[in-house]
């Protein structure tokens, strides 16, 4: 079965994207990547220092992975564009995850500035994946701005609370023609499976893996859950019913 996800002209077999932040030890990242099966790895540009004599996050990311630098720390579109261009100049490729956050309490994305940054970078040939509050009109504006995919949050960053925005994400999946990648708030493999069962194209998980007692095993668990959720979706999940319905016939017994 050919069920690959295509973004920016690149086909991906694995629909789990992972991050590189919060790990207790960067040395486990290669094994986490391996067990996750992920080929798209996001990272904050501020963690990359090519001139540092200390360890560099790029040293731990397998070369066959697609780097997805994010613009973490940007508070407006101009700052996000500047970070994206720096990432490209440093050899991180032309994929970029737009994060524009000026809210210090809930860390919610600024949708307006995100649209502006997406439009500017898409015009310059970047493969833009914007992180956004799930809103249909905003998603449509991001499509028009040139986004390659949109990344609605499931819950605020790092909360592990799951799909608190489930119904809003469902609307995006139904109405938007580019991939919907659920990002932020996914705390359990079951959350990831649920997102995939709904029809999300992929999920991005960082905190739930990095802060688990055993990140390597948790990465494997998420890998399996994403595959299971996707398989359930394309198998056409049976509809829910209001009343009980026996699996076996209740009439026609032999003694009748």
Residue 250 pLDDT class (50, 70, 90 cuts): low
Name the residue among 153, 106, 157 with its Cα closest to residue 132. 153
Which of helix, strand or coil describes residue 96? strand
Q: What is the pLDDT of residues 72-102, one digit of tens each?
A: 989 999 999 999 999 999 889 999 999 999 8
Three-state secondary-structure class, residue 179: coil
Whether 40 shows a pLDDT value over 80: the answer reads yes
Angle at 205 between CA 185 and CA 14, to 5 degrees: 140
The Cβ-side half-sphere exposure at 73, using a 13 Å CA radius, reads 12
* pTM assigned to the model: 0.90
Just list the catalytic residues: 97
């Amino acid at each position: 079965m050919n069920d690959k996800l295509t973004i920016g002209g690149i086909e991906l077999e694995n629909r789990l994207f992972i991050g590189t932040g919060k790990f207790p030890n960067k040395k486990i990242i290669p094994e986490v990547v391996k067990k996750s099966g992920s080929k798209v790895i996001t990272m904050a540009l501020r963690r990359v220092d090519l001139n540092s004599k200390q360890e560099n996050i790029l040293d731990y990311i397998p070369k066959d992975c697609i780097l997805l630098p994010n613009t973490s720390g940007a508070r407006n579109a101009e700052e996000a564009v500047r970070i994206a261009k720096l990432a490209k100049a440093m050899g991180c490729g032309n994929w970029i995850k737009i994060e524009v956050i000026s809210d210090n309490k809930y860390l919610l994305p600024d949708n307006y500035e995100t649209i502006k940054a997406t439009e500017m970078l898409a015009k310059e040939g970047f493969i833009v994946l914007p992180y956004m509050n799930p809103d249909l009109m905003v998603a449509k504006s991001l499509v028009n701005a040139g986004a390659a995919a949109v990344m609605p949050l499931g819950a605020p960053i790092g909360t592990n609370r799951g799909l608190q925005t489930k119904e809003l994400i469902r609307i995006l999946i139904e109405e938007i023609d580019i991939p919907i990648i659920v990002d932020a708030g996914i705390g359990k493999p079951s959350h990831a499976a649920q997102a995939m069962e709904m029809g999300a194209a992929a999920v991005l998980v960082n905190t739930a893996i990095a802060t688990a007692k055993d990140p390597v095993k948790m990465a494997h668990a998420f890998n399996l859950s994403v595959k299971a959720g996707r398989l359930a979706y394309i198998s056409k999940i049976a509809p829910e019913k209001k009343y009980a319905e026996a699996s076996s016939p209740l009439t026609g017994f032999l003694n009748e």
